[in-house]
Structure formats: structure tokens, C-alpha cells
């Protein structure tokens, strides 16, 4: 599947609000190819020459529903400042099994490939979470103990499975309310 800025479902399309279903394991060839294509998109999207040539918006994650496929699959790649992969997953049926009471938020807010308009404000999420699911990259069931930025990325992507977008979490009355007990991630 060709994945680029034109083929990614935007938030104006009601499909993005559709709930995703569990995926049968072992993966069908079609699901496997889609998840690997999603992983490739995320990887390539932060390489300037490729992103420009193929019309890719920079991303750290993408979920299948963003391609119009309501299945619980997501690809996440975090790179360091030099472009080296620090963390990568191609997850199937991931679910949060525990999360901290302590909250965290990104100082510069969140973004999403499916959201083109600006939505300013803080999005509070659990500072730590544990996620379990099948990872295609390692070809095994995994338990991810995430904190900080990775925890936020996981929660953002898993929200897509419920049809929830990041800006749904912004406090409408006071978008920049600062919780003094929350961890601010710069």
C-alpha cells in the first residue's frame, strides 16, 4: 500500500472515529504487509530527502485506522537526534495493562498525521504505562514498560483504536492549564 500525506485519512473523515477490531494471529500476509508498510512510512518520514520526494509528513507513529483499516495495528519508531533508531515496534493488538496515576504532557503539545489544523493545548496522559501485544519486529509477544515520551506516544496511538484524537483530551475551558504535579516533557 502506498502511504503518504494524500492517502492518510484526515480528521474530517468519519472513518477516523471508527473503533478498531482485534487482528487474528498469526498475521495474514495482507496484515503483515500493511504493518510493515506502516513501519516503513514512520522510518522514512524523518529522512528529509525521502519525505520530500514521497510526500511524507514526519511521524513517530501511525495506526491502521489512519489508512482506513479499522484493525488494532500500530507502528512506532523513536530516533535519537542523529537519526538512529532508539525504539521501534510494529504492534498487533496492543493494550495498556497498567498506567501511572502521575500525569505527563508534552510542552509543545501533540500532533497527528490525521490532523492538519492547529489544536493548541496540553494533553495530559499517564507518565508511565505497561503495554502488551504482539510485535512483528521481534516476532514475539512483548511487554513494554514505557515512561515519558514513549508512554505518551503509545497512549496516543492506542487512542486511535477507540476513535479518539489527541485534541479530544485538551481542556476546552483552559487549554494551557498547568497541572503542578504533572511531568512536563520538553
Q: Show the DSSP H helices in the chain as ranges.
A: 29-45, 48-54, 148-160
Active site residue 157: yes
> Whole-angstrom Cα distance, residue 123 to residue 62?
18
Residues 65 and 158 sit within 8 Å (Cβ to Cβ)? no
> Whole-angstrom Cα distance, residue 23 to residue 136?
13
Q: Residue 78: which of 151, 17, 139 has the closest Cα?
A: 151
CA pseudo-torsion sign 148, 89, 43, 166 = negative
Would you call 55 helix, strand, or coil by DSSP?
coil
Residues 159 and 126 sit within 8 Å (Cβ to Cβ)? no
Residues 113 and 64 sit within 8 Å (Cβ to Cβ)? no
Catalytic residue among 30, 49, 157, 186: 157
Q: Which residues carry out catalysis?
A: 157
Amino acid at each position: 500500500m502506498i502511504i503518504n500525506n494524500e492517502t492518510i485519512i484526515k480528521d474530517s473523515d468519519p472513518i477516523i472515529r471508527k473503533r478498531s477490531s482485534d487482528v487474528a494471529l498469526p498475521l495474514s500476509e495482507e496484515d503483515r504487509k500493511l504493518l510493515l508498510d506502516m513501519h516503513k512510512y514512520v522510518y522514512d518520514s524523518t529522512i528529509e530527502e525521502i519525505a520530500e520526494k514521497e510526500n511524507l509528513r514526519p511521524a513517530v507513529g501511525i495506526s491502521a485506522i489512519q489508512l482506513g483499516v479499522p484493525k488494532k495495528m500500530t507502528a512506532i519508531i523513536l530516533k535519537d537526534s542523529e537519526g538512529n533508531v532508539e525504539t521501534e515496534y510494529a504492534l498487533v493488538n496492543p493494550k495498556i495493562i497498567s498506567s501511572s496515576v502521575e500525569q505527563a504532557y508534552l510542552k509543545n503539545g501533540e500532533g497527528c498525521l490525521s490532523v492538519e489544523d492547529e489544536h493548541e493545548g496540553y494533553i495530559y496522559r499517564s507518565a508511565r504505562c505497561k503495554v502488551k501485544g504482539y510485535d512483528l519486529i521481534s516476532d514475539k509477544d512483548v511487554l513494554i514498560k514505557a515512561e515519558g515520551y514513549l508512554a505518551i506516544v503509545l497512549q496516543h496511538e492506542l487512542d486511535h483504536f477507540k476513535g479518539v484524537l489527541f485534541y479530544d483530551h485538551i481542556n476546552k475551558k483552559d487549554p494551557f492549564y498547568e497541572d503542578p504535579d504533572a511531568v512536563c516533557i520538553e
